[in-house]
Amino acid sequence: MELFSFDLYLSGLHFFTNPLMYVASFFGVLVGVVFGALPGLTATMTIAVFIPFTFGLAPTISFAFLLGLYSGAVYGGSISAILINIPGTPSAIATSLDGYPMSQQGRAGEAIGISTISSTIGGFLSVIVLMFAAPAIASVALKFSAEEYVGITLIGLSVIAIISPGSTVKGLISGVFGLVIGIVGIDPITGFPRFIMGRAELLEGIDSIPVMIGMYGLSEMLVQISDVQYSIVVKQKISKLIPPLKDLKRILGTVIRSSFIGVIIGALPAAGGSIASLVAYGQEKRFGKRRDELGTGIIEGVAAPEAANNASTGGALIPMLTLGIPGDAMTAVLMGGLIIQGLRPGPLLFQQQMPFVSSIFISLLLSVVFMCIIGLVGAKYFAKLIGFPKKYLIPAILVFCLVGSYAISNSIFDIWVLILSGIVGFVMRKLSFPIAPIVLGMILGPLFESNFRRSLMLSEGNWATFVQRPISLGFLIVVVLVLVGPMILKRFNKVIIRGN
């Protein structure tokens, strides 16, 4: 694979002679912003609910729409964070720290404008990094054998446990639950059926899409219903959406620094925008020129997290596209969207489907452009959506969930999978169990199992094969550091404190 050739990046341009590519991208961004702006409707849930409706579309059009949803929903969370101090998505939590104080000062329009411009720059830089980094990583990954893939999947599974919010044990339990769901069906090596409980529908395994819609969509709606919260009506004058040049100059350094933080953290398996935005805000608190004013309503406090969480979108696509390892929960769902189109993420995707990969780069760039336009033009109207009554919104989303699950294979069984997943997801949320490890476990589990068993078969049962190959050994060392590192660091800090 030749790297950095213009043909590599322009081979997908011919797809954009089709006007539907632009319509799909624009509509995806629009829907993503709307759903992202509504409190409680996460970006992951938005993508999961709409994936089934892309079934039957051309893969390029399908992914133009899904990437539009992805970009729009991540950005849209900032609108409710700024206006009512309720982040529309977890990645907008840090945005509310300065965005809401600005809103209370009558500067809501200014805050949304800064958020939009920062998100656009962060998204644009992430696309550039993705375009150059992904082919380079994929060319190296083409040399990987089964042993290397065992190490990569183990890294993804180990990081799940470390970054799971709350209890690490609960994160591990959720991950194992996902692994168990992932092995239902025909054994990939022996062809023997596993855990099918006499149901022929389970021979091909449990479809990940109904599970994701149930876990993120249906369970979220059940949580919303159980919490019984009244809609908050926002009445704010939205003006001065276009930031003046002096403000843009002031935030330029913050935005660039935060964008690269977002790309790097986004590329870490199982990390994502919420971590990226908090880290970027923390770095602004440490190194920013106006660090002492953060939290009082300054534009740097909005620019840093928004640039980071939108830059994480391109970063998270790097491991997903090149290695088949989702960068976060959202890209795990996007990966499901690729799989139902008959495409398997990984280095072979770059070798065999380069025009499609090129279209992904261009679609993501197009979605960033539409995000900027829609954000600046439609901010006044999106602000009114926040007070939309949940008694109308929740039933509509439930219908989307049911229709979407059925549409995948026209199977009533998928509806039951959706309902059961929704109930299980609701109970787990109430017990503070994270949902993301389940989805990641479902996707990474079969990949780990097939490569692990293939490695042992090819080496005739020699377990040393995993440490005899330098790259595989390196991955295993990373796994050990990820799992043991935090405990060692914690104990080291205790020793230092005692010494002082």
pLDDT number for residue 472: 86
Q: Per-residue pLDDT tens for 459-488?
A: 888 888 888 888 888 888 878 887 776 667
Q: Per-residue pLDDT tens for 333-370?
A: 888 888 888 888 877 888 788 888 888 889 999 999 99
pLDDT number for residue 268: 67
Rounded average pLDDT over 245-273: 79
d(C-alpha 382, C-alpha 439), whole Å: 30
Q: Using alpha carbons only, how large is the chain's radius of gyration in Å? A: 22
Residue 210 burial class via C-beta count within 10 angstroms: exposed 0-12, middle 13-18, buried 19 and up = buried
Residue 275 burial class via C-beta count within 10 angstroms: exposed 0-12, middle 13-18, buried 19 and up = buried
Does residue 49 register a pLDDT over 70?
yes
Sign, CA torsion 43/48/53/55: positive
- Exposure string over 154-176, b if 16+ CB within 10 A, otherwise e: bbbbbbbbebbeeeeebbbbbbb
- Determine which helix (DSSP H) or strand (DSSP E) holds 300, and give its type and residue range: helix 299-323
pLDDT top residue among 338 and 385: 338
Give the confidence band of 130 by pLDDT, cuts at 50, 70, 90.
confident
Helix 412-430, helix 219-227: angle, nearest 10: 50
